[in-house]
Amino acid sequence: MHETAPSAPTRVVLYGRDGCHLCDQARTMLERVRAETGEGFAEVDIDADPDLRERYGELVPVVTVDGVQQGYWRIEAARVRAALAR
């Protein structure tokens, strides 16, 4: 997983793991959303935390905005944008 260093508190978090092709797709989508909105995101490797690995397991990638889950596996950019607009 790549670490993204935000300059302000991070509203968007991508939970994933190395070697996850859907995580790569979610990262690409979030990079497009960042280019459009200016809203950065953080990445968290669930395999580095036993609690997160237990919680998310095979559901990755998972994207949250302001702590609210927006989806898993295939996350829609429109849903992330709508959550950011709230």
Domain-wise residue ranges, the chain: 12-85
Q: How do strand 12-16 and strand 41-45 relate by DSSP bridges?
A: parallel
Look up the pTM and report it.
Answer: 0.88
User: pLDDT digit string (tens) for 27-62?
Assistant: 999 999 999 999 999 999 999 999 999 999 999 999
Whole-angstrom Cα distance, residue 27 to residue 80?
12
Higher-pLDDT residue of 17, 3: 17
- What percent of the chain has pLDDT above 70? 91
Q: Determine the topology of domain 12-85 in CATH.
A: Glutaredoxin (3.40.30)
Q: Which of 86, 11, 26 is nearest to 56 (CA)?
A: 26
Looking at 2-6, 9-13, 52-56, 82-86, which range is the least confident one?
A: 2-6
Residue 20 has pLDDT above 90, yes or no: yes
Query: What are 86's strand-pairing partners?
Result: none
Which residue type is seen at 62? V
Higher-pLDDT residue of 57, 3: 57
Which residue type is seen at 78? A
pLDDT value at residue 6: 46
